[in-house]
Structure 1
Amino acid sequence: MSPALNGSAEIHRWCRSFPGARAQISEARQFIAGYLGDRCEADTAQLVVSELATNAIRHTRSGLPGGRFGVTLHAGSTLLIVAVHDEGSPTTPHLREADDEDQSGRGLYLVETLSARWGVHGDHAGRTVWALIPFAPADRAV
Structure 2
Amino acid sequence: MSGHASAITGATCLYAIYDPVSGRCRMASAGHPGPALVRPRGRVEFPELPTGLPLGVGGMPFEAVEFQLPEGSRLALFTDGLVEDRDRDFDTGLRLLADALSRPGRSPDQAASDVLTTMLFPVPSDDIALLIADTRRLEADRIAEWEVPGEHAAVSRVRNAGSAQLVEWGLGDIAFAAELILSELVTNAIRYGSAPVGVRLVRDRSLICEVSDGSSTSPHLRYAATTDEGGRGLFLVAQYAERWGTRYTDRGKVIWAELPLTGGAEPQPVEPLDLDSLEDLAW
**Shared fold by TM > 0.5?**
yes
Match of 2:226 in 1: 100
C-alpha contact 1:22 1:57 (8 A) present in aligned 2: yes
Normalized per residue, the structure richer in helix is 1
TM-score when normalising by structure 1: 0.77
Counterpart among 60, 66, 79 of residue 206 in structure 2: 79
Moved more, 116-125 or 37-46: 116-125
Structure 1: state its 5+ residue gaps: 1-9, 62-66, 138-142
Q: Partner of 2:148 in structure 1? A: 18
2:215 alignment counterpart: 88
What SS does structure 1 have at the residue aligned with 2:201?
A: strand
1:42-53 aligned at under 5 Å gives the runs 42-53=175-186
Moved over 6 A (4+): none
For residues 75-134 of structure 1, what are the alpha-carbon distances to aligned partners after superposition, in whole Å with 9 as ceiling and x for unaligned? 02x410000011105x31110232222121111010001010000011694110000000
Q: Return closer, same or farther for 1:52/1:115 CA change in 2, 3 Å cut-off.
A: same
Indicate if the aligned counterparts of 1:120 and 1:129 stay in contact, CA closer than 8 A: yes
Identity among equivalent positions (%) equals 37
- The higher-RCO structure (CA 8 Å, 6+ apart) is 1
Residue in structure 2 matching 1:58, options 185, 191, 195: 191
Q: How does 1:116-127 map to 2 (within 5 A)?
A: 116-122=242-248, 125-127=251-253
Larger Rg: 2
CA distance in 2, matches of 1:49, 1:42: 10
Q: Deviations over 1:20-78 (max 9, x none)?
A: 111000011011111011611111111000000011011112xxxxx3311100002x4
CA distance in 2, matches of 1:15, 1:32: 9
- Contact 1:88–1:123 (CA under 8 A) maintained in structure 2: no
> What amino acid is the match of 2:173?
C
> Cα distance 1:35–1:87, how it changes in 2: closer, same or farther (>3 A)?
same
TM-score, normalization by structure 2? 0.40
